[in-house]
Amino acid sequence: MFPPMPQEATSRKRGPHQLPAGRHGLSRDFVVQNQRDRLLAAVGEVAGVSTYATLTVEDIIAAAGVSRRTFYDHFRSKDDAFLASYDRYEQRMHDRVEDALTGVDELAARISVTIETVLDFFATEAGAAHVCVVEVLAAGPAAVERRGKTVRWLTGLLEDAASTLPKRGRPSPLVAEALVGAIYELVYARAATDELSALPELGPDLVGALLLPYVDADQAAAAKRSAKARLRRRAA
């Protein structure tokens, strides 16, 4: 059991993400979910300016704007909070990719959309890049296993797209694994240099290069042009 903790000082200026002090009329369920969401987001925020080894519960509760007791109402430890944050980000990426692939059947288009959506996700979710790609490797066996599961899911998407090819012309499954590894390496490098926002700009060239094991050069070039057109439309 943890000893009673004092309430947060009422004189502290409250952040825009914090709930109003005192009686606010909000339901208990809403308050609990809001606290949990803030803590999970705080893990990503802190991971972006710290390493997993130096990340502390104090860092997380300061970023979330909650008390230490509130943290332990939700999580057993920083490890527990980190894994929960990973799971939330992974689910967001999963949902975004699956939504983007809805109604997309052609091989080159499915691979292109998968690549572009993953890059866009990490470009707009910096916390996800730091939690799911950078610091996950230092967060222990359970975190590494989660990363492996995510990599296998992305690899499976590429393999499923390639299943439409004749068996004789189908690349080895190792190709899909290598392509996902290349995407992760790009995200890792851009996170380390604080250039995540530039990831979508890499999409067209990456699509053109990574499609070559699956389609001929003309199809890869056409997919690259289509990716450039989609990038221009999003920027407009």
Q: What is the pLDDT along the chain (236 residues), one digit of tens a residue?
A: 333 333 443 334 445 455 544 445 567 787 788 999 999 999 999 999 999 999 999 999 999 999 999 999 999 999 999 999 999 999 999 999 999 999 999 999 999 999 999 999 999 999 999 999 999 999 999 999 999 999 999 999 999 999 888 888 789 889 999 999 999 999 999 999 999 999 999 999 999 999 999 999 999 999 999 999 999 998 88
Task: Determine the pLDDT at residue 25.
Answer: 57
Side chain identity at residue 217, one-letter code = A
* Residue 89 to residues 105, 132, 133, 197, 221, Cα–Cα distance (Å): 26, 8, 11, 17, 32
Taking each helix axis from N to C terminus, what angle separates 107-124 and 78-101, rounded to the nearest 10 degrees?
Answer: 140
Enter the DSSP assignment of 221: H
Side chain identity at residue 156, one-letter code = G
Enter the DSSP assignment of 21: S
* Residue 78 to residues 56, 75, 91, 156, Cα–Cα distance (Å): 7, 7, 20, 31
Task: Determine the pLDDT at residue 229.
Answer: 94
Task: Determine the pLDDT at residue 235.
Answer: 82
Task: Determine the pLDDT at residue 6.
Answer: 35
Q: For each of the domains in the chain, give its residue range(s) and CATH number, in order of start.
A: 28-77 (1.10.10.60), 79-235 (1.10.357.10)
* Calpha distance 166→118 (Å, rounded): 27
